[in-house]
A and B are shown apart, each in its own frame.
Chain A
Amino acid sequence: MALTPWSSFFDFAPYRLSGVVYGTLMNHAPALAALGAAASEAPYKAPPQAPVLYIKPRNTLTVEGAAVEVPVGVPELEVGAALGLVIGQTACRLTRENALAHLAGYTVVNDLSVPHTHFYRPSVQLKAHDGFCPISQRVTAAKEVKDPNHLQVKVWVDGQLVQETSTDHRVRDVEQLLVDVTDFMTLQPGDVLMIGVSAGAPLVRAGQRVEIEIEQVGRLQNQLVAA
């Protein structure tokens, strides 16, 4: 239903990204553990039960190689090196057993945010500025990836390796995330669901180049520029 002006970038057979990109937060077990007792205290009161999800709206979507503007007054952005699950078949009430069969494949997403340390009700603008969601146009077919829960993830800033992590250690692994999300929210072919980034997201400034590589999936490179 929601066609985006950016959709033409993504018109490559056999998959077309629909422009609906969902993200997952607080899904890296070590990051959640690092919050310690604070996760059970006010204002949160308890660790998250349901998946913590958000939407990267169509104005945030951009492509491999695109320049991304750093908003005025924001010194640095957080690089969210995220594995994107590209939905291939209508996904509603999936089970662990059939979840991966509903994926067309995987892609690399740079889920950019303005850094923030409070998670009760962060402003939507921290994640929704124009251009804050570069996505690789290359979708790696699901069958090419042996196990999406054990992929190396690397981030370089201006050619220097600044983060080395993996898709391991999720509160919900890929299968469980798909099960829990599609229990109340149907995902359509072309939608993208990001599994959530690891702790220690690198920071970048205008003028820097950021490159993300996910093992077996691909690479994504973008330049940050001043607004």
Chain B
Amino acid sequence: MNLSLVPAPKAIVAYAGALHSATPDPKGLRLSDGRVVAEESVVWLPPFEVGTIIALGLNYADHLKELSKELTVTTQDAPLVFLKGPGALIGHRGQTRRPRDATYMHYECELAVVIGKPAKGVKAADAMAHVAGYTVCNDYAIRDYLENWYRPNLRVKNRDGGTVLGPWLVDACAVPDPHQLQLRTYVNGKLTQQGTTANMVNAIPALIEYLSSFMTLLPGDVILTGTPEGVVNVNVGDEVVTEIEGIGRLVNTLVGDELFGR
């Protein structure tokens, strides 16, 4: 492959009063107008215009085993899909609120697959042509709020700022095999979650075939493909870094109710 033809990863950032498209630079990031700025000097937003947010529950064999005591599903069932709204999204280096009554709030490091071409009735064999690229997602959950009606309920999974997305949208052609990527989560620098996208129960082509069998996928729609084992409770003040090999390193900090006057 001629690497010069592979488009650079792209971010959307706010800097000095305006929104910019940006690409990586050895000194931080390069804005589309030529300025090179430090990573900490910008506000990072989700790296593309997000449409429907489609999330997978229990899509890793190891995570399924980890939760098996409280579960009623097996790998034989249809994919467990739920939807999220755009208000849940927050960019790289953002803050996520941990309510003080929560006892078990955990991160989920997930490969996010961004649709680039409309897909309706697409077969798995043709599915990857509909993928624009990839980014990293940290999809927090608060298990205290889990109820047993239309699981998982939005109070668990669709909270303001509870779905971290970014930093970069990496073009699909820069990722030769999205099913051979290491996922890692670090809490305050300590490795707490480790897995590989090779362990997805339903791989990306199967997910696109399944979803597009009943819903038209459109450019900007994003599939959050689930998380491997190794989720642990996180606390106010913790820095959570979710990282996927070749895709990005996504930083988030947990903050308390006080900041919000609660």
User: Is B37 interfacial (CB 8 A cutoff)?
Assistant: no
| Smallest Cβ-Cβ distance to A48: which chain B residue | B149
User: Is A123 interfacial (CB 8 A cutoff)?
Assistant: yes
Inter-chain contact A55/B155, CB cutoff 8 Å:
no
Tell me the minimal C-beta distance from A155 to chain B in angstroms: 23
Inter-chain contact B51/A2, CB cutoff 8 Å:
yes
Interface segment, one of B81-89, B176-184, B199-207, B224-232: B81-89
Inter-chain contact B214/A57, CB cutoff 8 Å:
no
| Smallest Cβ-Cβ distance to B161: which chain A residue | A186
Tell me the minimal C-beta distance from A159 to chain B in angstroms: 30
Inter-chain contact B215/A53, CB cutoff 8 Å:
no
Residues of B within 8 A of A4 (CB): 51, 218
Residues of B within 8 A of A20 (CB): 85-86
Q: How large is the interface on B (under 10, 10 to 19, 20 to 34, 35 or more residues)?
A: 35 or more
Residues of B within 8 A of A71 (CB): 214
Taken together as a complex, chains A and B put the C-alpha atoms of A130 and B119 apart, in Å, by 12
Residues of B within 8 A of A120 (CB): 72, 148-151
Inter-chain contact B150/A122, CB cutoff 8 Å:
yes
Inter-chain contact A54/B148, CB cutoff 8 Å:
no
Tell me the minimal C-beta distance from A196 to chain B in angstroms: 12
Interface segment, one of A8-16, A39-47, A104-112, A208-216: A39-47
Residues of B within 8 A of A22 (CB): 85, 154
Asked whether A185 and B216 contact (CB < 8 A) given A3-B49, A45-B148, A54-B150, the answer is no
Contact with B along A174-191 (1 / 0, CB 8 A): 000000000011111001
Inter-chain contact B159/A185, CB cutoff 8 Å:
yes
Contact with A along B73-108 (1 / 0, CB 8 A): 000001011111111110000000000000000000
User: Is B147 interfacial (CB 8 A cutoff)?
Assistant: yes
Residues of A within 8 A of B155 (CB): 50-51, 53, 184
User: Is B50 interfacial (CB 8 A cutoff)?
Assistant: yes
User: Is A58 interfacial (CB 8 A cutoff)?
Assistant: yes
Contact with A along B28-49 (1 / 0, CB 8 A): 0000000000000000000001
Inter-chain contact B49/A50, CB cutoff 8 Å:
no
| Smallest Cβ-Cβ distance to A56: which chain B residue | B83
User: Is A162 interfacial (CB 8 A cutoff)?
Assistant: no
**Residues 39 to 94 of chain A near chain B (Cβ within 8 Å):** 43-46, 48-55, 57-60, 71, 92
User: Is A1 interfacial (CB 8 A cutoff)?
Assistant: yes
User: Is B160 interfacial (CB 8 A cutoff)?
Assistant: yes
Tell me the minimal C-beta distance from A2 to chain B in angstroms: 5
Residues of B within 8 A of A25 (CB): 149-150
Inter-chain contact A54/B83, CB cutoff 8 Å:
yes
User: Is B185 interfacial (CB 8 A cutoff)?
Assistant: no
User: Is B52 interfacial (CB 8 A cutoff)?
Assistant: yes
User: Is A128 interfacial (CB 8 A cutoff)?
Assistant: yes
User: Is B153 interfacial (CB 8 A cutoff)?
Assistant: yes
User: Is B145 interfacial (CB 8 A cutoff)?
Assistant: yes
Asked whether A186 and B83 contact (CB < 8 A) given A121-B151, A130-B214, the answer is no
Taken together as a complex, chains A and B put the C-alpha atoms of A186 and B260 apart, in Å, by 14
Tell me the minimal C-beta distance from B220 to chain A in angstroms: 8
Taken together as a complex, chains A and B put the C-alpha atoms of A54 and B81 apart, in Å, by 12
Tell me the minimal C-beta distance from B197 to chain A in angstroms: 22
Inter-chain contact A184/B149, CB cutoff 8 Å:
no
Beyond known contacts A2-B49, A121-B80, A184-B160: 15 more, CB 8 A cutoff: A2-B50, A4-B51, A44-B149, A53-B155, A54-B83, A55-B154, A57-B83, A58-B51, A59-B52, A59-B215, A128-B214, A130-B120, A185-B88, A185-B160, A188-B87
